[in-house]
Amino acid sequence: MEDVIRGFGLILEFKNILLIFGGVLVGVLVGALPGLSSPMAIALLMPFTISLDPVASISMMAALYCAGTFGGSITAILINAPGAPPAVATALDGYQMAKKGEPGRALGLAAIASVLGGIFAIFIFLLATPLLAEIALKFGPVEYFGLTLFALSMLAAMSGKSSIRNLIAGVMGVLVSTIGVHLATGVERFDFGVDELTEGIKFVPVLIGLFAMSELLNQSKTLNDAVERMSAKALKLPTLAELKKLKGTILRSSGLGTFIGILPAEGSTVAAMMGYNEAKRWSKEPEKFGTGSPEGIVGPEAANNAAAGGAMVPTLALGIPGSGTTALILAALVMHGFRPGPYLITETPHLVYAIFGAMLFANFGFLGIGLVGAKFFSYVTFVPKRFLWPSVFIFSLIGSYAYSSAIFDVWVMLLSGIIGYFALRNGFSPAPFVMGLILGKMVEETFTQSMVIYENNFLNFFDSGVFIFFFILTFVSLSTPFWGKIRKKFSSAK
C-alpha cells in the first residue's frame, strides 16, 4: 500500500502531471493523424527523455500509448481513415453513424467505451502484475529461456501480413541484437572494424528509422490523397440508459481485450477486431452492424483500449512486451537503467504504480480532451503531408542524433528506415523485428546460462516442467496459423 501511495504521489507532482498531460495530447494528436502512430511518437520522444526523471518519462510514454489508441478513433469516425490500425474496426460502424448525422454521438460512444475498457484493464494490471512477477521470481534461466522462446513464437500469430515473415523479421531482430561484444566471452561480433558497432546497434535510432522513416517513404506515394471529413461540433456522451444497454458489450470486450493484451506479441488491433466480432455475435441486432450500430463502436473501442492496458502486464512483470508499443516502453525502461521483469516490482514497485497512475490519469485525460477538442483533432487531418512529413524527418534527425551525439546513429536511423520500407513492401512488419531486437539479448543470455547449467545439452532443458510447458505453448503457437488451413483442406477433401 505504501508503494501505491508513493507511486501515485510521484504522479501528482505538478511537473509530472504536465508531462503526462503532454503525453495524452501528443498521443491523441498522433493517433488522429493517419500515418503517424504511437510507436512512432514514443520512438521519437525516447531520446529526449534521457535527461528526464525516469518515472516522469515512462509515465508520459504510458499516457501517450493509452491516448494514441483513442486518437485513432477520431479520424476513423470522422473521415473513415483510422489514424491507427486498432481503430480499423471502429470505422466500420463509427463512420456510418457519423454519416447519418451523429458524429458527436459516435465519438462519445468511442470515448466512453475506451475509458471503461482502459480502466478495466488497469485494475487487472494492478492485480495481475505482482502475481505474475511473484511466479516469475521463481524462474531460473531455463524457464526464462522457455518464456522468451514462447514470446518470440507468438510473433507468428502477431497481426501482420504473414506468420512466416513475422517470424523471419523476429529472427532478424534477434540476429541484429548479437552485434557487438559477446558478454560471456568478450569476443567482438559482426563489428567489421567499425568502432561504433562494438557496443552493438543502439535500438533507439533503429526504432525511429523503422517507425518514422519507412512511413515517410510510404506517405510520399500518397501526397495528393484527399479526405472527406464529417464535421463534429463536440463529443456527445451517451446517456445512462444507453450505457446500461451497452454494458454487456463493454464488459465482454474489456475482458477479451485485456486477455489478448496480456498475451505476448498480440496487440490492440487483434483485440479490436475480436471485440467487434464478439459484439456482433452476442448482439440481438447483428444485422445492424456496418450501418452505424452503437455496439459496433463500443465493442472494438473497449477491447483495443483494454488491450493497451493488458499489454503492460507481461511487459512490466516478465520483461516480455505485449505489443509493438510496449516493446518501445520496455526499451525506454532499459534506457533508463531499469531491469524490466519481476525485479522491477520487487526493487522499484513505486515505478510500476506510477505507470498505473499515469495510465489511469491518461484515460480521464483523453476523455476530457475528447469532450472539448474533438473538433480541433478532426482539423489536424488538414495539415498538408508536404509540411507534416519533413517535420517528422527533422524530429527523427534530432532524436537519433541526440541519443548519443553521433552522426553514425543518424545513418543507422536512415538506413533502418530505407530497409524497413522495402521490407514492409515484401510483407515484413517492423513490430516483430523490434520485439526480436529488444528480446534478443535476454534470449541469448538465458540460453547461454541454461546451457552452462545443463552441461551444454539442450535436451536436459526438458528436466524443467516449466520449460516443457512453454515449449508446448511455443509449438502450439507456431502451428496455430496453419491449423485452420489444414482443417479446411481436410474438410474439402472429404
Partner 1 sequence: MSNESNFAPKKTGAKSFHRKDLILAIILVAFGAFVYSEANKFPPAPLVLGDTINADVFPKILVVILIFLTAIIPFEFKITPEKVAKIDKERDDKTIPITWITIVMLLTIVSLANFLGAVLTMFVTCLIFPLVWGEKNYIAVAIYAILFPGFVYLLFNQLLGLYFEPGLMEIFKK
426 contacts 220 by C-beta, under 8 angstroms: no
Closer by beta carbon to partner 1, 220 or else 239: 220
Q: Which is nearer to partner 1, 216 or 232 (CB)?
A: 216
Rounded-to-integer distance, Cα 59 and Cα 356, Å: 8
Closest contact distance (angstroms) between CB of 482 and partner 1 is 7
Q: How far is the CB of 49 from partner 1 (least distance, A)?
A: 11
Would you say 337 or 384 has its CB closer to partner 1?
A: 384
Give the contacts of 297 (CB within 8 A, at least 6 positions apart): 77, 90, 93, 94, 97, 106, 109, 110, 113
User: Smallest gap, in angstroms, from Cβ of residue 443 to partner 1?
Assistant: 8
Toward partner 1, which CB reaches closer, 168 or 352? 168
- Say if residue 88 is exposed, middle or buried (CB neighbours under 10 Å; 0-12, 13-18, 19+): middle
- The CB-of-122 to partner 1 minimum distance in angstroms stands at 31
Q: In the complex, what is the shortest distance from the CB of residue 326 to partner 1, in angstroms, rounded to a whole number? A: 24
Would you tell me which residues interact with partner 1 (CB under 8 A)?
A: 48, 51, 161-165, 167-168, 171-172, 174-175, 178, 182, 184-185, 187, 189-190, 213, 216-217, 220-221, 223-224, 384-387, 389-391, 393-395, 397-398, 401-402, 405, 407, 410-411, 414, 417-418, 425-427, 444, 447-448, 451-452, 455-456, 481-482, 485
The SS3 of residue 429 is coil
Q: Which is nearer to partner 1, 377 or 454 (CB)?
A: 454
**Would you say 175 or 251 has its CB closer to partner 1?**
175
- Pairing type for strands 188-189 and 180-181 reads antiparallel
Q: How far is the CB of 486 from partner 1 (least distance, A)?
A: 10
The answer to whether the CB of 236 falls within 8 A of the CB of 104 is yes
Smaller CB separation from partner 1, 187 or 240? 187
Q: Are 197 and 215 in contact (CB under 8 A)?
A: no
Which is nearer to partner 1, 37 or 159 (by Cβ)?
159
For residues 123 and 415, what is the distance between their CA atoms, to the nearest angstrom?
41
Instruction: From 277, 361, 279, 338, select the one nearest 11 (Cα to Cα).
Output: 361
Please state, in angstroms and rounded to a whole number, the distance separating the CA atoms of residues 41 and 47: 11
Cβ nearer to partner 1, comparing 15 with 245: 15
At its nearest, how many Å lie between partner 1 and the CB of residue 108? 34
Cα-Cα-Cα-Cα dihedral sign, residues 82, 293, 484, 151: positive
Residue 126 one-letter amino acid: L
Chain centroid, CA 169 distance in Å: 17
What residues pair up with 290 in beta bridges, in sequence order?
none
The amino acid present at 440, given as its one-letter code, is G
Residue 8 Cβ vs partner 1, minimum distance, rounded to whole Å: 28
Nearest to 124, CA basis, from 4, 258, 227, 305: 258
Cβ distance to partner 1 smaller for residue 119 or 423: 423
Judge contact between 65 and 308, C-beta under 8 A.
yes
Question: Residue length, the chain?
Answer: 494
> Rounded to whole angstroms, how far apart are CA atoms 37 and 387?
17
* Cα–Cα distance, 410 to 190 (Å, whole number): 20
Residue position matching grid coordinates 480532451:
369
Q: How far is the CB of 114 from partner 1 (least distance, A)?
A: 29
Q: How far is the CB of 386 from partner 1 (least distance, A)?
A: 4
Min. distance of Cβ 5 from partner 1 in angstroms?
A: 31
Q: Which is nearer to partner 1, 161 or 281 (CB)?
A: 161
**Cα 250 from Cα 121, distance rounded (Å):** 12
Bridge partner residues of 188 (DSSP): 181
